[in-house]
Amino acid sequence: GALVYQYPRRTICKSGTSMRMECQAVGFQATSVAWYRQSPQKTFELIALSTVNSAIKYEQNFTQEKFPISHPNLSFSSMTVLNAYLEDRGLYLCGAWTGGNQDTQYFGPGTRLLVL
Amino acid sequence: GEQVEQLPSSLIVQEGASVLINCSYTDSASVYFPWYKQEPGKRLQFIIDIRSNMERKQNQRLTLLFDKKTKHLSLHITATQPGDSAIYFCSASINYGGSGNKLIFGTGTLLSVKP
């Protein structure tokens, strides 16, 4: 079946430092990958949508300079949170689209970022 | 911008009861509506979806109804079990300027099923 893995599951970083998180699609080829941040109130913010061989599209309030994304192939994506501060805390979710006629998005378990 | 409203925000029911979760969206261009379930500490789990060319879809104890005219969806869960306790999210897919699709999520419904 289709599964999405994320690594690490949890990370703590010092304020002003950066951390990288990874997303791996297993059992299918992800035509595009979306990165979201889930707040403590459980609401979702889309950070960016990355489609292989297309420019990565960032939502308002999120920039490539702050959240650079790499999407080298149809099964792997990574995102870095640069210069993390308290407001960057949250659960970062990767959602991978399967493509095709029954295009469906499957999510990884998330990377929880704590900033000290 | 695009919005998805979801009600109620929380539900507490006895085991065996049925529940209804309502969702409305604003962007008439949305054509795909997946629903997810999130248990504490677990991943967002896909449970059912519907596309705009359908009015009804059923998957075991889940029935999803869609009204394109009113831009409204409702998820009906029958014979609830304690294992159904989770936060349920509706979402609407919107084409992201030709680069693929993005999901706009509702605010979630916290369902608690008491044994």
Residue found under tokens 């925000």: B9
**Nearest residue of chain A to residue B87 (CA atoms):** A42
Which residue out of A24, A33, A44, A47 would a mutagenesis test of the B interface target, given it has the greatest number of B Cβ atoms within 10 Å? A44
- Nearest-Cα distance to chain A for B100, in Å, is 7
CB atoms within 10 A of CB A66: 16
Residue A67 CA to residue A84 CA, distance in Å, equals: 10
Q: Among A30, A26, A35, which Cα is nearest to A110's?
A: A35
Average pLDDT, chain A: 92
**Nearest residue of chain B to residue A44 (CA atoms):** B105
Asked if the Cβ–Cβ distance from B43 to A95 is below 8 Å, we say no
Residue A58 has pLDDT above 70, yes or no: yes
Residues in chain B predicted with pLDDT less than 70, given as ranges, are 97-99
pLDDT at B51: 94
pLDDT at B105: 94
Strand B19-25 to B101-105 pairing: unpaired
Asked if the Cβ–Cβ distance from A93 to B44 is below 8 Å, we say yes
pLDDT at B61: 98
Residue B44 CA to residue A9 CA, distance in Å, equals: 14
Q: Among B30, B66, B72, which Cα is nearest to B48's?
A: B66
Residue B96 CA to residue B78 CA, distance in Å, equals: 35
